[in-house]
Amino acid sequence: MGRKVGIEVSIAAAEAVGLCDVDVVAAYPITPQTHVVEHLSELCASGELDAEFVPVESEHSAMSVCCGSSAAGARTFTATAAQGLALMSEIVFIASSMRLPMVMFLANRALSSPLSIWNDHSDTMMVRDSGWIQVFCENGQEVYDSIFHSFRVAEDPKVSLPVMINVDGFNLTHVIEPIEFWTKEMAQKYIPPFKPLYKLYPDKVVTMGAFGMPEIYAEAKMSQDQALWNSYPVIKQAWDELAALTGRKYSPVELYKTEEAETLILGMGTICETASLAVDKMREQGKKVGLVKLRLWRPLPVDDIKNAISGAKNLLVLDRAVSFGAANGPVTTEIQSIMYHEKERPNIYNVIAGLGGRDVTPEDIIKMLETALANKNQGYNIHGVRG
Amino acid sequence: MADTEKKKVIKPIKNFSMEEYISSGHRACQGCAEVLAVRHVLKAIGPDMIMAMATGCMEIISSPYPLTSWNIPWIHVAFENAAAVASGVESGLKALRRKGRIPNKDVTIVAMGGDGGTTDIGFQALSGMIERGHKVIYVCVDNEAYMNTGIQRSSSTPIGATTTTSPTGKLEPEGKSTWKKDMVAIAAAHGIPYTATACPTFFTDLQKKIQKAKEVNGPSYIHILSVCPTGWRVPPNKAIEYGQLAVDTGVFPLYEVENGAWKLNRKPKELKPVSDYFKGQGRYRHLDERFTQQIQDKVTERWNKLVELCSEKPEK
Amino acid sequence: MTKPMEQISWQEIEAGGVITEPGNASCYHTGTWRSQKPKYDENACIRCWRCYVMCPDAVISPDLEKNIFVWNYDYCKGCGICAYECPAKAIVMEED
């Protein structure tokens, strides 16, 4: 077992990438992702990490370099946030369609305008349908462990897809937490050498990125969709093996104090830690409230979600992004869609909170819940908006 | 007569590969000099290569799934990023080679895009690739407009040419009113080790330049004028001839810049008038004498500057 | 031999749409596009290779045994470059 250190989460993530023996890192600086790639470039410069650090001229090129290096059979990593993700989004969709494994650390940040460097999930929701495996992290240890898990899953020949690790900007990227490190041996044991399904090399000539006529496009998309669904058991198994290695157990959906809970709160990312404090307080007051943490966002763990919430009377879904002009926030829309056909289903309420770095406290969450239950409001509201 | 004449025998061409790395069955238009340029680029490099290609004519004509014309490892990702994808392939192979995971063998990495994918939308990625020093040969196959989408103007469309987005009209009688972007000068301004112009009409010169680029320890940029009968509105059988005229009129001079030293590769004793080149091209049909003269003056001026640049000896 | 695209099921698509058979587009015969056909006069031919070198479709190849150049009409699109460029006028375009 590795040592436990107090360390900034971004630095720890970079150290994890180093332990994974990555071959190529391509990134363009953007707040709040910078500490990750700065540290990686230091590791490369000092020789501690034998990798090519490609300091690209834009995020669009960052993702393009990643496609090239992954296609060449190299273990590939990038990190970005908000506008950077928006700029590279064209290629984000192509990376998954071409089944190119790679890992992205996404320091979740609000999209402009107004320009904001602070946290919400509007960036990641923009690429919700990009075909990447997408996980959310609640604390530093999860982020650190997710790096290893993501390489393991992405490069599994049964998967061969890119993985996006969502890390709330500043709220998580810039905090110092106690993190238990892995050893090099653990990483090597957990992540086998990258053996891509196909690679660009003259010994076996392949054509990658052909174009699709209407006669074939739908089949290509079906194949891609199935690949993402088929990643689910691999993701779970990799988490089980991670548990055997580290003693830390992760699941697509995690439950907190849900025993006999009548009312549940569901969220993704660091807001879950805040919500758990709210649950503690309400439980102290004898209220039957519990928390459902959604770790795996794509592929959506449909049955796990059903099992977690179908017994409850009420469900408050915390969204951290606005889906402008839509019936609800993006997470709520998914949950409602899953539950529509269920006989037993909770009343589902939606609150959007924490936009552009607005602080969300446990008291806020208690208030959101009380208001939702009292008003039985349909549709969404943005918590704490003045006026 | 016939029995006294010495019978001619087919002799092999020197330093010329008989292999075809882009196979017949590709769907390029009749008389496409761009795919001819690609054919010669590939012959000059040989099998130990990987190509990253931008979206465009050459990509579309060669890869309708499940068919491919490529006999070399080939990747297409998007329109504006061939240079970045090639940077990634090069970086990946570099790391894998250093770690002993692939053979320690030189594999030539080529990025290829049309004039739109290079001089417009892929300009930034290309500049980044050159500045970072990736060992990649970037080849621009320039047919002087967005031919794949239906002949729209690019920044590489020459002055005076009409396209579907630079039509002639009462207010703009000249068609495209701005000069073609000077890509080789821009590449040279990066301090690139090797950059050159080429044209498949002069295939020996073209192949020589590609082979030179292959030996360079760093990035190289080759800008190839590729006559497009469809877009230029010329008969397909004249695709080679128009390449010759572009060079011999000084509209598209053949030159190279090697470590800062400029060199003309073809210097006609006297330039032909540009009107010889314009004649018969549908895209120039509207040009009157006055505007033709204006273009002629500028071509002459630029040619003289180029000759001057090429006669300067670099400091030792 | 590759299946025509309209017969391929989604399960048969290689991961990421990779094509593993190099140059398989040669099953597509572009010769059907042709309206004019080059006719070669071996007596007039000066064996200079220009037709071979300038063909965008790589359909001309030397037959060294017979000492002639031959056209693969499966692919020849009839662009007429070979005839136009032939310095010996040994190639003429004819209605196909």
pLDDT, tens digit, for every residue of B57-105? 999 999 999 999 999 999 999 999 999 999 999 999 999 999 999 999 9
Q: How far is CA C29 from CA A89, C72, C75, in A?
A: 38, 10, 5
pLDDT, tens digit, for every residue of B221-239? 999 999 999 999 999 999 9
Nearest of A22, B15, B84 to residue C49 by alpha carbon: B15
pLDDT at B175 over 80: yes
Q: What is the CATH number of the domain that holds A103?
A: 3.40.50.970
Candidates C22, C69, C81; nearest CB to B71: C22
B314 band by pLDDT with thresholds 50, 70 and 90: low
Is B58 near chain A, with CB under 8 Å? no
Q: What is the CATH number of the domain that holds A332?
A: 3.40.50.920
- b/e B58-85 (16+ beta carbons within 10 angstroms → b): bbebbbbbbbbbbbbbbbbbbbbbbbbb
Residue type, A12: A
B122 band by pLDDT with thresholds 50, 70 and 90: very high
pLDDT at A149 over 60: yes
State the maximum Cα–Cα separation within chain A, in Å, rounded to a whole number: 68
Q: Are strands C68-71 and B74-76 parallel, antiparallel or unpaired?
A: unpaired
Is C47 near chain B, with CB under 8 Å? yes
Res A2: pLDDT: 77
User: Which pairs from B18-21 meet CB under 8 Å and 24+ separation?
Assistant: B19/B43, B19/B46, B19/B47, B19/B71, B20/B71, B20/C58, B21/B47, B21/B70, B21/B71, B21/B72
From chain C residues 51-80, the ones with a CB under 8 A of any chain B CB are: 53-59, 62, 64, 67-69, 72, 74-75, 77-80
pLDDT, tens digit, for every residue of B2-50? 444 566 899 999 889 999 999 999 999 999 999 999 999 999 999 999 9
Phi, psi of B47, rounded to the nearest 5 degrees: -70, -25
Q: A237 and A257: one domain?
A: no
Candidates A50, A91, A220; nearest CB to B77: A91
Is residue A387 a part of any domain in this protein?
Answer: no
- Tell me what the mean pLDDT of segment A179-202 comes to: 98
Q: A173 and A305: one domain?
A: no
Tokens for A69, please give them: 């290096």
Q: A181 and A296: one domain?
A: no
Running DSSP on this structure, what letter comes out for residue A106? E
pLDDT at A60 over 60: yes
Tokens for B231, please give them: 């877009």
- Residue ending a domain, choose from A246, A280, A310: A246
Domain ranges (residues) in chain B: 33-311
Q: A191 and A165: one domain?
A: yes
Phi, psi of C84, rounded to the nearest 5 degrees: -65, -35
Angle at C59 between CA C57 and CA C63, to 5 degrees: 155
Using a CB-CB cut-off of 8 Å, the residues of chain A touching C8 are 216, 219
Q: A18 and A143: one domain?
A: yes
Residue C80: closest CA among chain B residues belongs to which residue?
Answer: B237
**Residues of chain A that touch chain C, judged by Cβ-Cβ distance less than 8 Å:** 97-100, 160, 197-198, 204-210, 212-213, 215-216, 218-220, 222-223, 226-227
- Tell me what the mean pLDDT of segment A6-30 comes to: 98
Tokens for A17, please give them: 């990438």
Candidates B28, B64, B69; nearest CB to C23: B69
In whole numbers, what is the pLDDT of chain A averaged over residues?
Answer: 97
Q: How many residues would you count in chain A?
A: 387
- Residue ending a domain, choose from A198, A224, A246: A246
Q: A304 and A230: one domain?
A: no
**B258 DSSP β-pair partners:** B194, B261
Q: A203 and A291: one domain?
A: no
From chain A residues 70-109, the ones with a CB under 8 A of any chain B CB are: 70-74, 76, 90-91, 94, 98
Res A377: pLDDT: 80
Domain count, chain A: 2
Nearest of B166, B148, B185 to residue B55 by alpha carbon: B148
Cis upstream peptide for A32 (omega within 30°): yes
Q: A19 and A52: one domain?
A: yes
Residues of chain A above pLDDT 90, percent: 98
Tokens for A278, please give them: 């709210």
Is residue A49 a part of any domain in this protein?
Answer: yes
* List of E strands, B190-301: 194-198, 220-225, 255-258, 261-264
A170 band by pLDDT with thresholds 50, 70 and 90: very high
Token pair 């001229």 in the structure block, residue: A57
pLDDT, tens digit, for every residue of C69-84? 999 999 999 999 999 9
pLDDT, tens digit, for every residue of A366-387? 999 999 999 988 899 999 999 9
Q: A240 and A277: one domain?
A: no
- Domain extent, residue A112, equals 4-246
Candidates C9, C15, C18; nearest CB to A207: C18
Domains in chain C, please, with CATH?
A: 31-95 (3.30.70.20)
Q: A321 and A356: one domain?
A: yes
B1 band by pLDDT with thresholds 50, 70 and 90: very low
Q: A164 and A295: one domain?
A: no
Tokens for A324, please give them: 């402008």
Using a CB-CB cut-off of 8 Å, the residues of chain B touching C46 are 8
Candidates B8, B25, B200; nearest CB to C28: B25
Q: How far is CA A210 from CA A226, B133, B207, B309, C18, in A?
A: 20, 28, 27, 43, 7
CA distance A144 to A12: 6
Residue B209: count other Cβ atoms within 10 Å of its Cβ.
26
pLDDT, tens digit, for every residue of C36-91? 999 999 999 999 999 999 999 999 999 999 999 999 999 999 999 999 999 999 99
A92 band by pLDDT with thresholds 50, 70 and 90: very high
Using a CB-CB cut-off of 8 Å, the residues of chain C touching B200 are 54
Phi, psi of A179, rounded to the nearest 5 degrees: -130, 130
Res A1: pLDDT: 64
**H or E element, residue A97:** helix A82-97
How many Cβ pairs within 8 Å bridge chains A and C?
Answer: 57
B59 contacts A72? CB cut-off 8 A: no
Res B295: pLDDT: 98
For domain B33-311, the CATH class is: alpha beta
Res B315: pLDDT: 56
CA distance C31 to C80: 13
pLDDT at B258 over 80: yes
Q: A368 and A231: one domain?
A: no
Residues of chain B above pLDDT 70, percent: 97
CA distance A123 to A59: 14
- Residue ending a domain, choose from A193, A222, A246: A246
Token pair 């607005």 in the structure block, residue: A358
DSSP B12-60: PPTT-----SB-TT--PPTT-HHHHHHHHHHHHH-SSEEEEE-SSHHHH
Contact A316, A351 (CB under 8 A): yes
**H or E element, residue A178:** strand A176-180
Res B4: pLDDT: 46
